Structure 1
């Protein structure tokens, strides 16, 4: 227990040093908290909580909902907790792996509770562009097609359209042991184009723990986010709009995902390796296997998705 307390105090001291450095390096009239205790008080006042969900060490399942009281994985039978503290008195169970989930609903409600951002959340509806002008995702075919399929959702301009981004990164130095951590970020696209990609509006919803990539099991970790998105789509939540001074039923939908090709395969379930890796060509792919390298190649077949009369379709001079 003494060892755990000392580590806990060391982490607080490190955080205090970071906050002190940020305060000293910012504008003299800044209001950044100077220590860990003041930071916790500030965050607690916002009412934005986080949920810690234990995971199977192999990523088979989450100890979530009906499985919250299980002590071992129901698929691989691996124990939920580490065995280091079993014989210590008053010791807490330490899970092998833990998922950190930040609920999305409260943060979407905060966007309408602030006068600074509530007006911006209706920008896509109140600032119509002429036909053929593309300056915002609402001008695209996907957005317009969604409005035609779900006119009830589109009739309320305050309903939120979301995009999801996920990718892996190494939080530690490259010289240390490889560790792959996967943040999942959700962005509201109701905002003006100059605000959509700004850091304050990129909402971190999940931090999938490492040390390895979740690969095909990423859907296991996305369960709490999917459940919340389903609730926001079906029932919605009563939200106060500060700009209009009225309550309304806020609903949200996930319009698309933004990721690289390997992450696309993980999120969609489409295999991005082998001859049928292209999700556009599918079984009509003209890929072939190199005789000596035994690798799949798509040489000179990357334009076949274009129409037959397209100028680039048969342009071998510029693309060969």
Structure 2
């Protein structure tokens, strides 16, 4: 891929198209993350919000609203809501995972403490609900409240499933639908709802967000086992070291012989890892084509996302959303 093409990534083009709206979202986020009595709240929030993330989820809300011809201002509230929910879950995730790094920077729980991360996350969830209510749209409130519950449910399911070798691809998909895809699909869906789009269009936006979120997470899990640490901000094999059964590992476990299964029991279920185990795990993934097959699954979900856009009206944003789905899986080439 040439450097010219690289500089015109779909999410960058979308950000350029939505510059004015994203500016309004950022101003609203800054205003609502303020706290008169607890200065640590904006400090912790700003550490994550200003960390240089792509703001992909709020952009999806704005894009969906534009695609459906919305001319009001509440899509900005909803985009900020989505970003607050996302930031709150990151704060909580880093405590649960005992993470020390996110996007190449120290995590909030490392810089402050676990208590601050959990409580500021709670504050942001509360702020997100205030923003939802301000739209005066009960259906929007229902979708985003449901997404928040689904995200928490997915995280709890992951706690029990991630170190259990009986975890199937179906359970993995349930976890991913909860912890990642739920917010993607809610983000796109509420953009259509606030615009008063017909049910078929709202459903198409939901299906797009769901498939995009699943593809996004599968690619993330794949890059953990074969990515470039400098590009991903994570060390290769972090999921293995943290004993997380992601899709490539689930595929390798399902195809394991007795000796290989004993290796997975020791390293994942019992957590007794020694020098050289990551290399052996990678060798088993290659032996059973687990990485290739995971890559195929990611492409299938990205293709479903593109297909879901079919019923929606022609619009520059529709093209960008389609290209975004293709780009998500391009990261693994």
TM-score normalised by structure 2 residue count: 0.28
Q: Name the structure with the higher helix share.
A: 2
Question: Which structure has more RCO (C-alpha within 8 Å, separation ≥ 6)?
Answer: 2
Higher strand fraction (1 or 2) = 1
